[in-house]
Amino acid sequence: MKPESHMPVEPGLKVAAQMDAETTEEDFRFARQMGVDHAVAWCSPDKASAEYYRHCRALYDRNGVRLYGLGNGGVHNVAAITLNFPGRDEKVEEYKQHLRNLGQADIPYTTYAHMANGVWSTPREATRGGASARAFDVDRLEEEAIAGGGFGSRPELERDYTEEEIWENFTSFIKEVAPVAEEAGVRVGIHPDDPPGLVLGRVPRVIFSSFEGYKRALEIADSPNVGCVCASGAGWRAVRLWAMVWRRRFATLVVWARFSRCITEPWTDLYHTLWKLLSTTVTSTCIRQ
């Protein structure tokens, strides 16, 4: 399905950078030196407005880089949405306004993640050549585990949540926001659970951890403007998921792919395999870090 949008995105692979919403001239110069002409960025919720989004896009335009995507940290990995807490409706309305702001600013993409308590990591480890990298080891969760990753929280929960609740809350959310994304002309890419396939902080990561989960979720969304994010930082299990995504169905629904420094072996094979797959995907943008 072709996304509904007044903002055309040329087919084919784009190499982009993840940058600050208001980045420096030095960073722009470095991006141009690297041959990067697309970028994604994040802003804080206190700055979320169509006027600010237009300001960011104009800044990037002046520096020869297209701002392909912009995220709002206030509506990313939100427990109120994922777990149906008080304030859920207000957060959903905030997300809808985020989409409208993007459309008014001619920014065609944003990322959404449906994790109640954010990205989890364990202490950093060394990878190839001794490079320091983000890691997740379930056996080391008690060793200063980090939750949130900059976008999210670790709410203190009084009970365990069920898989059925997570599905119900996602369904109600996406049914509300998908029509707004289409109206605004904005593509929404759903980030995989990071790390995937576990129960963390009393919340199961059941939807965006498997091919079957993504398949069901996209069928529920039933929108050309809702697609997939490929994030290698979510680990080798996520990489296997993406190999299935490309082989079996959703290649044209991948709207963002992200290479991160992480403990994933064999990294070299992973990198080249995903790069080859992405090069054949007609609507993807690849973010390399």
Residue 23, classed as helix, strand or coil, is coil
**∠ CA 236-242-134, rounded to 5°:** 35
Rounded average pLDDT over 45-68? 97
Q: 3 pLDDT band (50/70/90 cuts)? A: confident
Among 3-17, 142-156, 205-219, 222-236, the range scoring the smallest mean pLDDT is: 142-156
- Cβ atoms of 252 and 225 closer than 8 Å: no
Residue 268 inside a domain? The answer is yes
**∠ CA 240-245-247, rounded to 5°:** 95
Residue 144 inside a domain? The answer is yes
Token pair, residue 254, equals: 């991948």
d(CA 181, CA 164): 25
Q: Where are the alpha helices (DSSP H) in the chain?
A: 25-33, 50-62, 79-82, 88-104, 163-184, 211-221, 236-248, 267-279
Rounded average pLDDT over 182-192? 93
Q: What is the pLDDT of residues 118-132, one digit of tens each?
A: 888 888 888 878 888
Name the pTM for this structure: 0.84
Query: Residue 24 pLDDT more than 60?
Result: yes
* Identity of the residue numbered 280: T
Q: Give the pLDDT score at 147.
A: 56
Task: At 48, give phi and psi (nearest 5°).
Answer: -75, 105
Q: Give the pLDDT score at 240.
A: 54
Residue 122 inside a domain? The answer is yes
Residue 3 inside a domain? The answer is no
Mean pLDDT of the chain, nearest integer: 81
- Cβ partners under 8 Å of residue 142, min gap 6: none
Among the ranges 101-105, 153-157, 203-207, 252-256, which has the highest mean pLDDT value? 101-105
Residue 112 inside a domain? The answer is yes
Among 94-98, 100-104, 173-177, 241-245, the range scoring the smallest mean pLDDT is: 241-245
Burial of 273 (0-12, 13-18, 19+ CB in 10 A): middle
Q: 270 pLDDT band (50/70/90 cuts)? A: very low
Q: Give the pLDDT score at 256.
A: 54
- Cβ atoms of 233 and 194 closer than 8 Å: yes
Residue 102 inside a domain? The answer is yes
Q: Give the pLDDT score at 186.
A: 95
The domain of 186 spans: 18-288
What CATH number did the domain enclosing 61 receive?
Answer: 3.20.20.150
d(CA 22, CA 166): 35
Residue 20, classed as helix, strand or coil, is strand
Residue 13 inside a domain? The answer is no
Among 77-91, 159-173, 227-241, the range scoring the smallest mean pLDDT is: 227-241
DSSP-assigned beta bridge partners for residue 18 = 40
Q: 250 pLDDT band (50/70/90 cuts)? A: very low
Could you count the other beta carbons within 10 Å of the beta carbon of residue 185?
20
Q: Give the pLDDT score at 175.
A: 98
Residue 11 inside a domain? The answer is no
Total domain count for the chain?
1
Among 19-28, 221-230, 238-247, 276-285, the range scoring the smallest mean pLDDT is: 276-285
Q: Give the pLDDT score at 96.
A: 98
d(CA 212, CA 244): 10
Q: Give which of 241, 233, 239, 285 is closest to 259, Cα–Cα.
A: 233
Q: What is the pLDDT of residues 226-235, one digit of tens each?
A: 988 876 554 4
